[in-house]
Amino acid sequence: MNYKVLYRKYRPDSFKNLVGQKHIINILKNSIKAQKISHAYLFSGPRGTGKTSTARILAKSVNCLNPEEGTACGNCANCQSFSTNPDIIEIDAASNNGVDEIRELINNVKIMPTTSKYKVYIIDEVHMLSQSAFNALLLTLEEPPEHVIFILATTNLESVPITILSRCQKYDFKRITTEDIIERLKYVCQSEAIEYEENALKEIALLSDGGLRDALSILDQLSKNASKITMDIITNEIGTISNQKIEEFIVAIDQNDIDQVENQIEELKNINLNYKVFIKKMIESLGKRAIKYLKNDVTSRLSYDDYKNMTLELNEIINKINVSVEPYSLIEMILLSYIKTNSSNNSDNNVEDNNKPSKSENQVIEQVSHDKETNVKESVKKPIPKIKDNFITTRINNCFVNARKDYLKNIKELWQNYETKATSQIRGMISDTIPVTASDEYIICVTTIKHKDQELNENVNFIEEDFATYAQSKYKMVFIDEETWSLEKTKYINNLQSGYKYEIIDEKSPIKDEKKENLSIENIASDIFDSEKIEIE
């Protein structure tokens, strides 16, 4: 099979061919020129923005025998054999995410490169590694042999532990601009003798959502079925809608044309247009029209608040859509709610109770505005109540009452396995949390991310129930940051010195003072905290 898809054929092999990431290219080239190469890099950003390609180019450049201005020459023996170079190891963390694979990697790290200066490990989608795998990688990532470079790539930076982030030089890849994607598409079309319309390439760029790989895949698909890339071809093959049609939608709403809106919605259903594409374009056009309204560049019945609220409500469909609901039914209801019907239409279509007093036109308009404002307010999700300080203090106190090191050891093992098997939603919340003290009923967990403890405590019931299903035992949890834990641990030891005894506090009752009792401070403290040495002054 000789044919190679366009995104692979035109994948950049040097810094000069990379599109849209100049801020990263300049830093990497300068570091190579100055021979100030880091032992670990982390590339994060949306899909199709050049993370893996940049990793390969960096690996090629650091091993080039004759680098030119910080980039590979392309002619030396190392550059020519790059694709088959055994010293460049690419790992897909999505399918090799276990601790055993990482341990094998760590063992191989010690082996010197065969022909290159550096052995380079490129770990793609690194956020897919299990917690155990991350823990195994930590020390090697911090202090690898001088001949090893790690390049990690991820589309989900939030799921990478802070302990990994702190050991890497981090580079954020941006979505590629529409203009840069169009220029690259033009270059590919000219190289492949593909005819095109300018507006069609712009449409492909918009559909790709800042990902050049997606844009080239769309172009590749369309070029197989047509001699020329046009808007009609894109509409029929991919499913999209022109900016002119979007403008007609907004004008129909502004002019209270119910029939036109309904007809256009029906047309979208018939062409099977992805509702997210429609919403994205609507939001873009509503934003531009709102700015024109503020500048008095357009005459409109709709107010700025109408444009803003319509944007928020449409965006909410993307965030909260239920797969069992027809998206365009929701879209239609939202758009029609911004149409003001005439009083004559209301009297024709609705039979009113003769006993009800009639409303003036101003009263009707006032009522419609009030109802719409009320609906918008009610659609906003209410914030979760803030966790009270006595909740945290009480649970810390109650955990200390019967805390023991053997309880903690058991919980740590359970927690580590639980993190790997929990749902993505739970993993996102409890990543970078560590159990530090445990009793038979309570667990204190420390989060290494500042201010994350508030979010965790707000969702503590959800986490407790899910963990109970896994552990087959119910525990009450509390989450605190590292600074709070340091203070609580010091406070505990001071209480022991003063002869105070911790007693269970009812979580619904005010906090009581601890009672004095003579205790063996060193024995009790060492039996609670997971520490080899506890200093007591």
- Reported as a single tens digit per residue, the pLDDT across 82-137 is 888 888 988 888 777 778 888 888 888 888 988 888 999 998 888 888 888 888 88
Q: State which fold the 178-237 domain adopts.
A: Helicase, Ruva Protein; domain 3 (1.10.8)
In angstroms, rounded to a whole number, what is the distance separating the alpha carbons of residues 362 and 160? Answer: 57
Give 283-319 as a DSSP string.
HHHHHHHHHHHHTT-S--SS-HHHHHHHHHHHHHHHH
pLDDT by position in tens, the chain (length 537) = 567 788 888 888 888 888 888 888 989 989 988 888 888 999 998 888 889 999 999 999 988 888 888 888 888 888 888 888 888 988 888 777 778 888 888 888 888 988 888 999 998 888 888 888 888 888 888 888 889 999 999 988 888 888 888 888 999 998 888 889 999 999 999 988 888 888 888 888 888 878 888 889 888 888 887 778 888 888 777 777 777 788 888 888 888 888 888 888 888 777 767 777 788 888 888 888 888 888 888 888 888 888 888 888 888 777 665 545 677 777 877 788 888 755 434 434 443 443 444 444 444 444 444 444 444 344 333 333 445 568 899 999 999 999 988 899 999 989 988 887 777 678 778 878 899 999 999 999 998 877 778 888 888 988 999 899 888 889 999 999 888 888 888 888 888 888 888 888 887 755 444 444 444 555 556 666 655 444 444
Query: Tens digit of pLDDT for each residue in 190-232?
Result: 988 888 888 888 888 888 878 888 889 888 888 887 778 888 8
Residue type, 453: D
Residue 443's SS3 state is: strand
The predicted pLDDT at position 207 comes to 80
Q: Which of 18, 26, 22, 59 is nearest to 152 (CA)?
A: 59
User: According to CATH, what is the number of the domain 389-526?
Assistant: 3.30.300.180
The single residue listed with the structure tokens 């091993």 is: 63
Domain chopping of the chain, boundaries: 6-172, 178-237, 243-340, 389-526
Which architecture does CATH list for 6-172? 3-Layer(aba) Sandwich (3.40)
What's the CATH number of domain 243-340, 1.20.272, 1.10.357, 1.10.287, 1.10.1470?
1.20.272
Does residue 58 contact residue 43 with C-beta atoms inside 8 Å? Answer: no
Query: Tens digit of pLDDT for each residue in 127-185?
Result: 888 888 888 888 888 888 889 999 999 988 888 888 888 888 999 998 888 889 999 99
49 Cβ contact partners less than 8 Å away, ≥ 6 residues apart: 20, 21, 173, 174, 175, 176, 210, 211, 212
Q: Which two tokens stand for residue 108?
A: 């191989």
In angstroms, rounded to a whole number, what is the distance separating the alpha carbons of residues 323 and 174? Answer: 30
Residue type, 480: I
